[in-house]
Amino acid sequence: MNIVTRFAPSPTGCFHIGSARTALYAWLFARSNNGKFILRIEDTDSKRYKEGSTLGILRDLKWLGLNWDEGPYFQSAKFEYYKDIIQSMLKSGLAYKCYCTEVRLDLLRKKQLSSGEKPKYDRKCRIFLKDYKSDSRYVVRFCNPINGTVSFFDEIRGKISFKNEELDDVIIQRTNGLPTYNFCAAVDDRDMKITHVIRGEDHINNTPRQINLLEALGSKIPIYAHVSMILKKNGEKLSKRKKVIGISDYRLQGYLPESLLNYIVRLGWSNGNQEIFSIDDMIKLFTLKGINKSPSRFDINKLLWLNRFYIKSLPHNRIIEHLKYQFKKKSVNYLNGLNLSELIQLVGTRYSTLQDMVNFSHYFYKDHIIYNIDSAKKYLVKSSVVFLKSIYSRILSLETWTVEEILIAIRSLVSESNVDSNEVFMPIRVAITGDIISPSIHIVIYGIGKSRFLLRIESALSYISSS
Q: Which residues are annotated as a binding site?
A: 98, 100, 125, 131, 240
**pTM greater than the 0.75 cutoff:** yes
Q: Which fold has domain 367-466?
A: Arc Repressor Mutant, subunit A (1.10.10)
At 2, phi and psi to the nearest 5?
A: -85, 110
| CA distance linking residue 58 with residue 65, whole number of Å | 11
Closest CA to 97 of 119, 146, 130: 130
Structural domain boundaries of the chain? 1-68+228-314, 79-173, 367-466
pLDDT band at 52 (very low <50, low <70, confident <90, very high): confident
Model pLDDT for residues 238-264, shown as the tens digit of each residue? 654 555 689 999 999 999 999 999 999
Q: Which residues are annotated as a binding site for Zn(2+)?
A: 98, 100, 125, 131
Residue 210 C-beta-side C-alpha neighbours within 13 Å: 23
Query: Residue 173: pLDDT above 60?
Result: yes
Per cent of the chain over pLDDT 70 is 97
Partners of 162 in the β-ladder: 150
Query: Per mean pLDDT, which range of 12-21, 45-54, 175-184 is the poorest?
Result: 45-54
The average pLDDT across 427-445 equals 94
Q: If you compute the radius of gyration of the chain from its CA atoms, what whole number of angstroms results?
A: 31
Q: Is 1-68+228-314 in CATH node 3.40.50.1980? A: no
| CA distance linking residue 174 with residue 172, whole number of Å | 7
| Architecture of the domain spanning 79-173 | Alpha-Beta Complex (3.90)
The average pLDDT across 54-59 equals 95
Query: Residue 71: pLDDT above 80?
Result: yes
Query: Residue 48: pLDDT above 80?
Result: no
The contacts of residue 224 (CB under 8 Å, 6+ apart) are: 152, 153, 154, 155, 196, 197, 207
Per cent of the chain over pLDDT 90 is 87
Q: Which residues are annotated as a binding site for ATP?
A: 240
The average pLDDT across 268-297 equals 95
Q: Any idea how long the chain is?
A: 467
pLDDT of residue 135: 67
The contacts of residue 313 (CB under 8 Å, 6+ apart) are: none
pLDDT of residue 239: 59
CA 467 to the chain's CA centroid = 49
User: 1-68+228-314 with 79-173: one CATH topology?
Assistant: no
pLDDT of residue 245: 85
Model pLDDT for residues 388-407, shown as the tens digit of each residue? 999 999 999 999 999 999 99
pLDDT band at 130 (very low <50, low <70, confident <90, very high): low
Query: Residue 89: pLDDT above 80?
Result: yes
pLDDT of residue 50: 76
Partners of 70 in the β-ladder: 38
SS3 state at 69: coil
Q: Highest mean pLDDT range out of 94-103, 184-193, 363-372?
A: 184-193
